[in-house]
Amino acid sequence: MTKISDFPAVTDFLDTDEFILARSGATKKMPGSMLSGWKLDLSLDGTSVVGLTQQAGTWTSSAGEILVSPGGGVKARAYPTASIRSGVCVFEVKVKMLSTGSHAGSNHIGMLVAWDGTGGSGGGLFALACSGLTPSSNGGHYTENTQGTTVGPSDSVRFNLDTTYTLRAFVSGQAVEYYRDGTALWTTPIFAASTGGVALHCGLYALNCDASFDDVRIWVPTLP
From residue 111, alpha-carbon distances to 12, 16, 154, 178 in Å are 22, 27, 15, 10
Tell me, what DSSP letter sits at residue 35? H
Of 181, 172, 110, the C-alpha closest to 143 is: 110
**Which domains does the chain carry?**
39-221 (2.60.120.560)
Q: How far is CA 107 from the centre of its chain?
A: 16
Find the helix or strand (DSSP H, E) in which 209 lies: none
In 3D, which of 111, 149, 115 has the Cα closest to residue 129? Answer: 111
d(CA 224, CA 218): 20
Verdict on whether the full-model pTM lies above 0.85: no
Q: Tens-digit pLDDT profile for the chain (224 aa)?
A: 334 444 334 444 433 444 445 444 444 555 555 555 677 888 888 888 888 888 888 899 998 999 998 877 788 999 888 766 656 889 999 999 999 987 888 999 999 988 877 777 678 899 999 999 999 999 999 998 887 778 888 999 999 999 999 999 998 877 889 999 999 999 888 876 555 556 678 899 999 999 999 999 998 877 66
Contact 42, 27 (CB under 8 A): no
The answer to whether the beta carbons of residues 123 and 61 sit under 8 Å apart is: no
**pLDDT value, residue 14:** 38
- Residues in CB range of 62: below 8 A, 6 or more apart: none
Residue-level pLDDT at 84: 66
Would you say 104 and 134 are in contact if contact means Cβ atoms under 8 Å apart?
A: no
State the SS3 of 116-136.
Answer: CCCCCCCCEEEEEEEECCCHH
